[in-house]
Structure 1
Amino acid sequence: MKRKKISAFALTILCFSLFLTSCDKKIKLDPKNPTTVHLATYYSSRQLDELEKLTTEFNEGYGFEKGIIVTVKSTASIQKINKYLIDSANEVAGSDEFPDIFITYKSILPYLKGKKEVINYSDYFSKEELAQYVDNFIKIGTIKQDDKSKIIMLPLGLSTDVTFVNKTDFENLPKNLGITYEAFNNFEDLIEASKKYYNYTDSLTEKKHDGKALYGSDSLAEHIFAGMQSMGKSIFVQDKDTYKVNLSKEDARILWNTFYVPIINGYFSKYAKFTSEDMKTGNLLSATASTAGSMYFPEKITYPNGDTKKIQISILKTPGMKNYKKVSLQQGGGIFISKSTPIKEYAASEFVKWLTNKENNTRFALNTSYAPVRKDNTEKDFIENAAKENNIKEISKNSIIMSLQQIKNEDLYIPPIFDNYENIRSLIKDIFDKEIQLKRIELLKRADSGEDYDTLISEYTSNSSFDKWYDDIKTRIDKSLKNFK
């Protein structure tokens, strides 16, 4: 009896192993009775258009032959897709069934814990198939669970931030200013260059203190996180089942000098919702933004009086912290497959394989300005040729190439996984962006009312102002973290 029990157990394990390693042999799809899988995404505009086109091609071609139908639903934003998934997982009245495939950020996972699980791609992809993806992208999608590494997210297209420079006007700056492209290597040099540019543009008009900012960024929160990582630290530290803020006064002073001080002085700024809009109006000469937004950067400037001027854009790496290891800012979510039935999981994995093959992934990436994700379609020469064949704009092509250089050669900032991360990210963005911009506006109003400008700058950047600012932001971040795991 004991031998029979052991044999039965061994047979069960053997069958399960065969199932995991030979899904295509074990599971039989039926083209006459196709399996439908539902995909939910936050994509909008060009990303959504391209995904829908590819999905239609799949349904009419490979999917039709295999017996798989894929539907696509978009919520058009990260916040909405996360709410959609949480409502579905909790079976909130009126919510849809939980999707078989979803595209979002890893930060959603804590909210689904205990409700919905995702597959380990290693169960459906061979080692050879997974080895086709860029190593850093696999790293982003890997988590530790029960002391084992699991690949729970695969990339369709990711982006890093790059710096867009108005080459036409930048190279026409007076040579005696001493501002060169090398200034964009790190924030410390960029601050000095921005100060020179502000003073120069201020001197062009009779009005005092109306100089222009040289630089702006759409990603100040990510700069904070990447800056801390480059110094070998994290702004968040795990303490058992909770996270706590990890921001010493010394580190906060570095961040203050790097971001607060130049914004208060008007050297860095952002006037519109996106820096691409500021460059269209000539309010900024350079900006750090996601490669996915490259198509929105201008080919001409339109001035307030209606005059226009054609410009060229140079693409550079994002600035880093001087004397520290460079960390790049990675943006973009990934593809998850929900745990459900073997046939649904298999059908979903077949679609993901098809969607991320060399041809389809290249097409998606080039048409959305995301970086392709495979080792066989990320070389510069391949991108150059593919962009030419597909009539891709120069700015999108160059931003993808620069993005891939950063991805392959630099460390990436990978967001931690804990509840409320997105809300805390928004809080930090407000602290280092909107709130400092408002202080700058307040300072200028006081100066216009007759107060001495230099005295005001000294007041807003004093040690006592820093101490008050530090205590305030530490308390607010700590409070946001306190009740979340």
Structure 2
Amino acid sequence: MLKILYFNNKFPTHYSKKGGIFSLFFQKRVGIWVGRNYRKATKTMKKSILLTILTLFFIFCLSGCKANNKPDTKNPVTLSMWHVYGSQTTSPLNDIIDEFNKTVGKDNGITINVVSVTSSSAIDDALSASANGEPGAADMPDLFIAYPRVAEIVGIDNLLSWNDYFSDNELALFNKTFLEEGFFNDKLLMLPVAKSSEALFINKTLFERFCSKTDITADDLKSFNGLFEVVRKYYDYTKGQNFLQINDYYNYAYIGMKSFGSDFIVDGKLQLDNDIFEKIWTPLAKTAIYGGICLDEGYAASRWKTVEILANTGSTADVLYQPDEVIYSDNTTEPIESLTIPYPTFGNDSSYAIHRGGGLFSIKNEDERKNYAAYIFAKWLTAKDQNLKFVTSSGYMPVTDDALNELFDNTTIVENQSYKNLYDSLAVMNNEYTFYSLPLYSGASDTQLAFEKNVKAVLKAAHNRYIKESANDNSAKLLDNIVANSIDELKKLTSSK
């Protein structure tokens, strides 16, 4: 007879009379051993299953977090932006941003919202107000175009480091000189998106009319010595009208001293006692004090419009604002053509110019989607095709070597004739000039603004003095004395700050 026994209700064993008590004892021991190991195996299997489930759960969570770090059409972001290119209604960058929003931005769930188009100084002030939490200050934008000086205003730790997102291969495409300006130690905080230089802009129509009645030619404008002589002759010819406006005396001094192998700024201090500074100051001061250089505040383009000046030195981006007609005091108008020539030299064999233009900054955001979206937009904007389209409609230079070579090897890609003339001049400068960026030091912005203000104040006061005293003494000695005194006055104003 066969009986079935269950040990712990788990495992069956067999009993037979033939085996007797030994057989029963043996089967009990086997059953106990098997039962224990069965429970142990079951417990281990449960642990394995639990571990597998937890592993899969964490993988799912991590992949989900990683996906959430990037914007997409189901997880979109909007980045606010301030910039300086054009105006709120007419802006080459706004046009490019619209294209981005409709294409790459749309595909990746990214929208760039331009909140403000204004001047670099206005952006500086607005960023400062926002960073300091001033009453009524605007919210800090996600993206903004500014000069390197704003890093200390906003705070380096608050800014996105572009080299955490751009690969080494991607950064290698950029012009090295342009890229270096944006580094703060090992952090690339300012990404170049467009660079300008300086040039001489001339009302070609009225200048040629003046040349036809004198012995002056456009070749006289290639150096500052020749330009200043033209300014004085025009002042005499027109009985007291200005010919020239210099938009940046700080840049004039910096490049002038570089041209003679010296530095305008050393350890954050202006080198006004340097003999080279006097060398470049004297011809400028002599001309401004005699007459013919506009020393008032305001934009050169506005003075072009009303024929208050015929020429100005300034950023190549000024081409965006050059008028195509002038209006005279009797309200009659005349269409004009403009001419752009390379930045004047300082009369030696060296040709130097500033490369300028702000760069793109991004606020470091806790929402990683916004940081990645900023990278996607910046990469798209600086790619050759988009970058060339943007810069050639606004008077700037592209920022990658490939785009620079394509532009300067064939300026016919620029459709606007006035702009083409500018890029022909920039092509000459690209081949023949050495470019420098302005040094960054503590208080650089305040120092630059103070220098501009002091130069104009000193030269304007000296000009008024010369006009008054030359009525009775029109000698060259009087002019020389006032010129010599002007540099002393400038030093006093500078040292008192």
The TM-score bracket by the shorter chain reads: 0.7 to 0.9
Q: Who is 1:18 aligned against?
A: none
Structure 1 residue 316, shift from structure 2 partner: 0.5
Match of 1:63 among 105, 114, 120: 105
Matched ranges for 1:306-345 at <5 A: 306-323=331-348, 325-341=350-366, 342-345=368-371
Matched, 1:142 2:183: yes
Moved more, 344-353 or 263-272: 263-272
Find the aligned partners of 1:174 and 1:77 in 2 and give their Cα distance: 35
Q: Who is 1:260 aligned against?
A: 285
* AA in 2 matched with 1:473: L
Find the aligned partners of 1:404 and 1:27 in 2 and give their Cα distance: 43
Q: Is the 8 A contact 1:159 1:291 kept in 2?
A: yes
Matched, 1:302 2:315: no
Counterparts in 2 of 1:466 and 1:308: CA distance versus 1, 3 Å: closer
Residue deviations 1:109-142, cap 9 Å, x none? 22234662341x3322223322333343223323
Secondary structure class of the residue paired with 2:192? coil
Matched ranges for 1:165-176 at <5 A: 165-173=202-210
Q: Who is 2:201 aligned against?
A: 164
Secondary structure class of the residue paired with 1:45? coil
* AA in 2 matched with 1:376: D
Find the aligned partners of 1:304 and 1:29 in 2 and give their Cα distance: 57
Q: Who is 1:8 aligned against?
A: none
Structure 1 residue 103, shift from structure 2 partner: 1.0
Find the aligned partners of 1:234 and 1:438 in 2 and give their Cα distance: 27
Structure 1 residue 308, shift from structure 2 partner: 4.1
Matched ranges for 1:403-422 at <5 A: 403-407=426-430, 409-422=432-445
Matched ranges for 1:100-111 at <5 A: 100-111=142-153
Find the aligned partners of 1:386 and 1:25 in 2 and give their Cα distance: 41
Matched ranges for 1:23-422 at <5 A: 27-45=69-87, 49-74=91-116, 76-113=118-155, 116-119=158-161, 121-143=162-184, 145=185, 148=186, 150-173=187-210, 177-199=214-236, 201=237, 210-238=239-267, 243-269=268-294, 273-323=298-348, 325-341=350-366, 342-378=368-404, 379-380=406-407, 384-388=411-415, 392=416, 394-407=417-430, 409-422=432-445
Secondary structure class of the residue paired with 2:144? strand
Counterparts in 2 of 1:244 and 1:65: CA distance versus 1, 3 Å: same
Structure 1 residue 287, shift from structure 2 partner: 2.3
Secondary structure class of the residue paired with 2:179? helix
Q: TM-score, normalised by structure 1?
A: 0.77
Counterparts in 2 of 1:319 and 1:381: CA distance versus 1, 3 Å: closer
Find the aligned partners of 1:115 and 1:31 in 2 and give their Cα distance: 30
Match of 1:461 among 462, 480, 497: 480
Counterparts in 2 of 1:404 and 1:349: CA distance versus 1, 3 Å: farther
Structure 1 residue 191, shift from structure 2 partner: 2.5
Give unmatched runs, 5+ long, in structure 1.
1-23, 203-209, 481-485
Find the aligned partners of 1:191 and 1:223 in 2 and give their Cα distance: 13
Q: Is the 8 A contact 1:159 1:403 kept in 2?
A: no
Secondary structure class of the residue paired with 1:372? coil
Q: TM-score, normalised by structure 2?
A: 0.76
Find the aligned partners of 1:272 and 1:30 in 2 and give their Cα distance: 48
Equivalent pairs, count: 430
Residue deviations 1:21-62, cap 9 Å, x none? xxx999543421123333233445179733333333323321
* AA in 1 matched with 2:347: K
* AA in 1 matched with 2:439: P
Find the aligned partners of 2:172 and 2:102 in 1 and give their Cα distance: 29
Secondary structure class of the residue paired with 1:233? coil
Matched, 1:429 2:434: no
Find the aligned partners of 1:155 and 1:404 in 2 and give their Cα distance: 19
Aligned alpha-carbon RMSD (Å):
3.2
Structure 1 residue 85, shift from structure 2 partner: 1.9
Q: Who is 1:470 aligned against?
A: 487
Find the aligned partners of 1:445 and 1:414 in 2 and give their Cα distance: 40
Q: Is the 8 A contact 1:327 1:413 kept in 2?
A: yes
Secondary structure class of the residue paired with 1:273? coil
Residue deviations 1:402-435, cap 9 Å, x none? 2354356422231222343222212222233354
Q: Is the 8 A contact 2:201 2:340 kept in 1?
A: yes
Find the aligned partners of 2:315 and 2:97 in 1 and give their Cα distance: 25
Secondary structure class of the residue paired with 1:268? coil
Counterparts in 2 of 1:26 and 1:386: CA distance versus 1, 3 Å: farther
Give unmatched runs, 5+ long, in structure 2.
1-65
Structure 1 residue 476, shift from structure 2 partner: 3.2
Find the aligned partners of 1:224 and 1:183 in 2 and give their Cα distance: 21
Secondary structure class of the residue paired with 2:79? strand
Residue deviations 1:177-219, cap 9 Å, x none? 54232222221232234344444x15xxxxxxx2444433222
Secondary structure class of the residue paired with 2:275? helix
Secondary structure class of the residue paired with 2:220? helix
Structure 1 residue 249, shift from structure 2 partner: 4.7
Find the aligned partners of 2:231 and 2:92 in 1 and give their Cα distance: 39
Find the aligned partners of 2:94 and 2:430 in 1 and give their Cα distance: 27
Counterparts in 2 of 1:414 and 1:71: CA distance versus 1, 3 Å: same
* AA in 2 matched with 1:179: I
Structure 1 residue 467, shift from structure 2 partner: 5.5
Find the aligned partners of 2:338 and 2:265 in 1 and give their Cα distance: 36
Q: Is the 8 A contact 2:204 2:338 kept in 1?
A: yes
Residue deviations 1:346-367, cap 9 Å, x none? 2211111112222322232233
